[in-house]
Structure 1
Amino acid sequence: MKVKIFLLLAIMLSMFVVGQGNDPLKSNNYVSQDKWVDSIMKSMTIDEKLGQMFMIQAYSNRDDKHKAYIEKMITEYHIGNLIFMQGTPRKQTILTNFYQEKAKVPLLIGFDGEWGLDMRLKNTFRFPWNMTLGAIQDDELIKETGRRIGEHCKRIGVHINFAPVVDINTNPDNPIIGNRSFGENKENVAKKAVQFIEGMQGVGVLGSAKHFPGHGDTASDSHIELPLVNFSKDRLDSVELYPYKKVINSGVASIMVAHLSLPQIEKNVNLPSSLSKVVVTDILKNELAYQGLIITDGLNMKGAANYNTSAEINMAAIEAGNDILLIPSDIKGTLNLLKASIKKGKITHERIDESVRKILKAKYLVGLNTYSPSKLENLDKDINRVEDHVLHRKLVRNSITVIKDVVNNIPFKHLEKKKIAYVSLGDDKGDDFLSMLKNYAKVEKVSSKYLKTLIKKLKKFNTVIVGFHKSNKNPWKSYRYSEKDMEWLRVIASECNVILCNFTSPYSLLSIAKEDIETIVLAYQNSKIAQELTAQALFGAFELKGRLPVSINSYKVGMGIEKPRLNRLQYTIPEQAGVSSEKLKKVDQKIDMLLKKKMTPGGQILAARNGKVFYYKSFGYHTSKKKKKVKNSDIYDLASLTKILASLPAV
């Protein structure tokens, strides 16, 4: 009988714990945390408390007038949080230190860094888009990416990074999510989101899962209008909310609420989800038992801003259950309206205290209880590290996906029998791709203004590599094939043995005829690294094991053809071969000395270790007459050096 009672109590206790949820803002040293929070709360006026609930946008590329405006908002309106937008890392760090000096309570600094600081700041590091990461099978690499991005954020004084996007992109025509999503498979999205968050929060930068309850199946952009998500509660619960359940369970510090119309959830079809008590309180806080920070998406976005006056929108966001209002307008009017509502009893002091306490707990969690300014020394070097480049290469290498290879074209074998042509389609360049291809074999770029002429030129080749190159500037750039590109690809594929290398979103393949294309390789982005590594992959420099993160007609999500590595050299950066870039600078210095002293007219150096070429440079001219520059593609007659160069590798 005692055993049964004990078991019943254990079950009831476990149900109680699950129902209560986990508090992701609770510090390991929660006694000191509560003491610090209580001490701040007791000294605050109502204006100071309300100020903690606003996060306004600051820029590091604007003039002193903007700087004075932000200072005024901090000192007069007690604004407690800033989100930095465009600028440079050094100027942002300087301004962060300045604004922190002016604040009575340290500021929580936010940032949109989904793929790194590059999303907002010049001369900073860029990791691949989430869609590219979605193709990777080793989720430890995703965790490492989150960690590196967190370290970069922390270095410039950012405490909360509004990432990752956990939207499940089930609509290929989604104009705003797309490449920002890990894909369409809810398990894959959830796993990668959890790993990313754990990596970032592990170094002390808060994560933020967005855009609740799910922006992945929309056909419009909430920056411009209020998108419609006409799904039942059951559908949302089984698909869109799935990643949120997982990240909540893993301890995500904050969740950002989207501006969406949810007619089957919220009766008022014109009310954005960010302002809906049903969405924010009933579903997120109560049903999902979420205790972390709840933040609206930018309230300056048309999806919210068109609903009412700025002050009314801001008050509705608080009434819905949000803790922080992101990029609100009319701060003064909002404060007056909120104080009047508190006086009338429409909003209680307890409701305000609930959010303020959570915000202060978050500030303690990121170390603002012992704030110190960020240092400027070695700043640029610290956020552009060699280790980041090594990781970037690993990410791209592990993402490259083969979805078709009916004649086993790749990796290329019997190069002596290959006559390879390269044709470039799209509106961006593929120079790095071609250059790397030429490191392995003779590859000729073939082009013409006329399709018939191009086909005629291609007749002498038995292998045609078609590179489709689109802008890699940001994940929103167009990825689609033009009518001309589609027609040219169709005709080329009908006449030649084609390997299509797609350097853009996999959704681009939805519009093309793929029947006559023998081989299709997805590189996802048109970066220099993606071009170089894809070229190496075609020749078998490393194995290919990426998986499709979204479905493309008959090519279903999760598919990918694994390709083996052949015994061919890889081309990489020194550190990936265990060599120091700094030490290699001495080689460059020696070369400069040789040229200046005219000890040689020029030359070429290739250095490799464990099958990895880490140094490959040409310098000077073929002769002292300086008529022909030395190029990496030059071939030399070894002549009397044959015996030495043939026997040396065997030693």
Structure 2
Amino acid sequence: MPVHAPLILDIAGTTLSAVDRERLAHPLTGGLIFFARNWQDRQQLTELTAEIHSIREDLLICVDHEGGRVQRFRTDGFTHLPPMRAFGEMWMKDGRGGEGAGAMAATNAASAAGFVLGAELRACGVNFSFTPVLDLDYGGSSVIGDRAFHRDARITALLARSLMHGLLLAGMANCGKHFPGHGFVKADSHTEIPVDKRGLRAILNDDAVPYKWLNTVMSSVMPAHVVYPKVDSRPAGFSSKWLNDILRAQLGFGGAIFSDDLSMAGARVIDGREVSYTEAGIAALNAGCDLVLLCNQSTGDGSAVDELLDGLGEAMVKDQWRGRAASEHRRLSLLPSKPALDWDTLMRSPEYIHALSLLP
């Protein structure tokens, strides 16, 4: 039995197939991530998550559910959450008067958004969301854009802390992304390999500052598929220097580290060579990631998912990577910290009703 289960995979549809069940039961599988294609309505989602939990109670059931344009579930009662930039804009009204304006209103609203986000997901059995974005808004990145709170690292950190507090009230962990910062580069790492030519000092003094300030409250971090050549020739998610020397040793982070999606273009070339999913997964784990994601490969015959499961298993036998008890402990620490309210109870909850009233 492996020491830890590092793979986060996905499923093709709104129900589990026999192959899905087999993959989820695999000892190297640590969780799965949902996309919009896995959503029909709340009843379907709740039944699906219940079936997943019946296979493995310890699986992380994840989703990218930030608000704004990155929100997988939008109908059948789910609140349409604003993009994170809306909270930064609230903050900038400070001192200008007006009802609900200013920094305190923005931090309260961000906490409310975190609570609503976490509580609604948990009411349907989803137990983890990859949020918040800590990238700074330089104004040139289309893939980040209004997903970022603000250009100022101080405002970003304080609003992110508030959102994390709301998630915690709902019993949900958090994930700061994309370390050390994706906002400066214009290229989209889903389709290209972005390169940030700034030096380490510039990045640490600006983009990476929120990770230092939030190191006691961040549950997990997702590094960027961005190359910072003045620091390391490898993208951050495959760089021991970024993950171990800087994020853990220098910035003091002790939580879980997820790779970003191994199927993205920014993950498919390492050291100038195109690599397989298995090679990318091994590289991420050996660089310091505790968990690796492979997304959108379950559709069709899903051979890429099986290739990675088999490849990681074979590589472990050959001692090409080693399971770490500390990594498994970090994975398990991301599971919910308290029981969830069911949907109907949540809708009547004074805390939830109040949180809705605080959203911009």
| Aligned residue number for residue 506 of structure 1 | none
Paired amino acid for 1:242: V
> Residue 199 of structure 2 is aligned with which of 232, 238, 260?
232
CA distance in 1, matches of 2:312, 2:63: 27
The whole-number CA distance in structure 1 between the counterparts of 2:202 and 2:137 is 14
Indicate the residue corresponding to 1:93 in structure 2.
Answer: 46
| CA distance in structure 2 between the partners assigned to 1:300 and 1:239 by the alignment | 29
1:56-101 C-alpha deviation (Å, 9 max, x unpaired): 1236xx365x533321211345522111111133311110001111
CA distance in 2, matches of 1:116, 1:102: 32
1:246 corresponds in structure 2 to 213
**Contact persistence 1:194–1:246 (CA under 8 A):** no
| Bigger shift: residues 111-120 or 134-143 | 111-120
Contact 2:224/2:236 (8 A) holds in 1: yes
- Which of these residues, 84, 100, 105, is aligned with residue 34 of structure 2? 84
Correspondence list, 1:285-364, <5 A = 285-306=248-269, 307-327=274-294, 330-348=304-322, 351-363=323-335
SS at match of 1:58: coil
Q: CA deviation at 1:121?
A: 1.2
The Cα shift of 1:284 comes to 1.2
Number of the residue aligned with 1:557: none
Q: How do 1:107-506 and structure 2 match up within 5 A?
A: 107-115=59-67, 119-123=71-75, 124-136=78-90, 137-138=103-104, 139-170=107-138, 172-249=139-216, 251-266=217-232, 268=233, 271-306=234-269, 307-327=274-294, 330-348=304-322, 351-363=323-335, 366-367=337-338, 375=342, 378=344, 381=347, 387=354, 389-392=356-359, 395=360
Task: Choose 1 or 2 for highest CA Rg.
Answer: 1
Distance 1:226 1:117 in 2: 22
One-letter amino acid of the structure 1 residue matched with residue 264 of structure 2: M
CA contact (8 A) 2:24 2:55 kept: yes
CA contact (8 A) 2:136 2:181 kept: yes
SS in 2 for 1:297: strand
Cα offset, 1:132, TM superposition: 1.1
Check conservation: 1:293, 1:359, Cα contact below 8 A: yes
Distance 1:117 1:198, change over 3 A: farther
Secondary structure at the aligned position of 1:291 is classed as coil
2:135 is paired with a residue of what secondary structure?
A: coil
Among the aligned pairs, what percent are the same residue? 24
Distance 2:203 2:348 in 1: 42
Contact 2:7 2:28 in 1 (8 A): no
Whether contact under 8 Å (1:276, 1:320) holds in the other structure is yes
Query: Amino acid of the residue matched to residue 69 of structure 1?
Result: V
Return the alpha-carbon distance in structure 1 between the equivalents of residues 72 and 344 of structure 2.
Answer: 20
CA–CA separation in structure 2 for the residues paired with 1:55 and 1:162: 12
What corresponds to 1:54 in structure 2? 7
2:301 aligned residue? none
Amino acid at match of 1:232: G
Q: CA deviation at 1:338?
A: 3.5
Q: Contact 2:161/2:214 (CA < 8 Å) preserved in 1?
A: yes
**Cα distance between partner residues in 2 of 1:259 and 1:321:** 14
Report the Cα distance in structure 1 between the residues aligned to 2:253 and 2:108, rounded to whole angstroms: 26
- The structural deviation recorded for 1:381 is 4.9
Shift of 1:165: 0.6
1:129 aligned partner, one-letter code? P
What's the TM-score, normalizing by structure 1?
0.47
- SS for the counterpart of 2:62 is strand
Amino acid in the other structure paired with 1:148 = V
Count of residues paired in the alignment: 328
1:555-566 maps to which residues of 2 (within 5 A)? none
Q: Which runs of 5+ in 1 are unaligned?
A: 1-44, 396-651
CA distance in 2, matches of 1:96, 1:177: 29
Q: For 2:70 and 2:136, how far apart are their aligned partners in 1?
A: 23
Deviations 1:185-209 (A, max 9, x none): 1111111111111121232101111
Aligned-CA RMSD value: 2.6
Q: 1:74 aligns with which of 2, 24, 35?
A: 24
How far the C-alpha of 1:345 sits from its partner, in A, is 3.8
- C-alpha separation in 1, matches of 2:157 and 2:14: 41
Distance 1:386 1:342 in 2: 49
Deviation at 1:241, TM superposition (A): 0.7
CA distance in 2, matches of 1:84, 1:333: 20
Which deviates further from its counterpart, 217-226 or 296-305?
296-305
What TM-score do the two structures reach when normalised by structure 2? Answer: 0.83
For residue 89 of structure 2, what is the amino acid of its counterpart?
A
* Offset of residue 179 of structure 1: 0.5
Instruction: Report how far residue 354 of structure 1 moved.
Output: 2.4
The 4+ residue runs of structure 1 with deviation greater than 6 A are none
